[in-house]
Every structure is written in structure tokens, then in C-alpha cells.
Amino acid sequence: MLVKRLYMNNPLRNYSYILVCEATQIAAVIDPFDAELILSTVKENGWQLEKIINTHEHFDHIQGNEAVVEATQAKIIAHENAKGSIPNVDQFVNAGDTITLGSSVTLQVLDTPGHTFAHLCLFCEQETPRLFCGDTLFNAGAGNCYTGNANALYKTFSEQLFKLPPNTEIYPGHDYITNNLEFSLDREPDNQFSTELLQQVSAQTPQTRMVTTLEIEGKMNAFFRLDNSQIISKLVEKFPDIDPSEEEVFVHLRKLRDQW
């Protein structure tokens, strides 16, 4: 499977992804924002765009749907809980469903509530395992829960994401890695790995940004390091009555990140 990452260069720093079955040149786009950019990329490469997959219902992940459908007649796929919030969906899916692309690509649908309750992630274990995670997991961070629930997001992490192969590549819906690393270092100042990684990514552009793996996330993402003594001790300073269980550490980290 070929993965084309497109940076939208908008204030929200969105990424869209075009996935291509190399055997057939049939393609799908995840979370189209700038329809013109997506359509021109598809045309330049001679791909046949047949599917649109929305990870969730927020406007910046569905904005390009209508124009892409008009130009390509692609079918829209979304979480079944998005009924009524994403227009003109052709196929609703949930945990355990699969989405095929051409003759060689199979995407597993994960039901990943937390950021919203209509959020799906896509996992492809063919060749290099890859996770397309929308606003559930960010590089060095986790999604906000303004329209969701932080406890539900923790369960998504602990029961699903933490159990994926360590070499799984992470493809999030936004380029937030610099700010997220700064937050993680604020929570764990002694993390030398995060310090060195921040220097590395600060020299990159959103277009050249590194692709992390779950193994890398485990070394620097505070939302993966829930039993770290420094993270816990600094949380206790802010929340003296906290129960330092992994779930409560996760939830309180999310509260702090909301104000960051």
C-alpha cells in the first residue's frame, strides 16, 4: 500500500491521507479537507479515487467530502454513530468491520471513542503495520475531549492502541508534534529522548515531518508513560488528591493539556 500524506497548511494544521492499492491504482482518501489539492494529487498520479473515509464528524475532517464526491463519485464511509452528523454517508462501519481497497489492501476498523463518540481508526497490518488515527492519537499527544470523554479515550488507549505492534506507524489527523513534545517535557523534564526528538522535529517542516511508531510514542508521549514517577509527582503537585492510577493520570494529563 502506498500512503500519500498531504498537509493542508490551514490554521488547524490538518493532514489528509491518500491510500493507494499499488496493484490496481485504486485509492481512498482519509479526512479530505482541501478537495482541490486532493483531486489534483490523484489526477497527477493517475489514481482512481473510489472511497472517502471520515475518522469522525468534525468539520475539518469532512469539509472536502462534497467536492470530492462530485468529481469522482467516491463513496463516503464513516462510523455508525455519525448518522445525522456526516451528510450523505454511503456505508456506516464499526469495530471489527473491514474496508478493502483494490485487490491488495485491507483496513481494519477500530471503534475508538474519546475525542468523539463517532470516531474510528483504521489499522492496516499488511507489510509495515500502520494506524490512521484521526484525532484519537497524535504524535506525542492525545486528542482533546471537548465533545467526547477523557475516560473513554483512556480506555481506547489502554484496551486497543497500547496492544498494537510496537512498530506500528502513526498517521494522525494533525501536525501537533512540536507543541505536544513541549507539553510532555513540561511533565517529564528529565526525558532526554524527548529533548533530542524535539530538536529533531523542530528542524523539520509539516511536509517532511517524521513518522513515529508506537515504540517511539512509548518513549516520549506522556499519555503512554502513565506509570512514570516524574509525571506522577508533578501531577500530585497540581492535583494533591489525585488517585495515581493510570486512568486518573491520563485524565488529569488531558485536563492540563487542554490549557496548554
pLDDT tens-digit map of 44-58: 999 999 999 999 999
Contact by Cβ (8 Å): 31, 13: no
Q: What are phi and psi of 83, to 5 degrees?
A: -60, 125
151 contacts: CB under 8 Å, gap ≥ 6: 247, 251
Give the pLDDT of residue 118.
Answer: 98
Residues of the chain with pLDDT under 50: none
* 78 secondary structure, DSSP code: E
Q: What does pTM read for this prediction?
A: 0.97
Please say whether the dihedral angle defined by the alpha carbons of residues 74, 75, 77 and 82, taken in this order, is positive or negative: positive
Segment 214-236, tens digit of pLDDT: 999 999 999 999 999 999 999 99
H helical segments located in 175-239 = 177-187, 192-202, 214-220, 229-238
The pLDDT value recorded for residue 140 is 98
**What cell was used for 120?**
474510528
CATH numbers and ranges of domains, the chain: 2-258 (3.60.15.10)
Can you give the pLDDT at residue 11?
Answer: 96
CA–CA distance, 213 with 229 (Å, rounded to integer): 23
Is the Cβ–Cβ distance between 49 and 33 less than 8 Å? no
Determine the number of helices (DSSP H) and then strands (DSSP E) in the chain: 9, 13
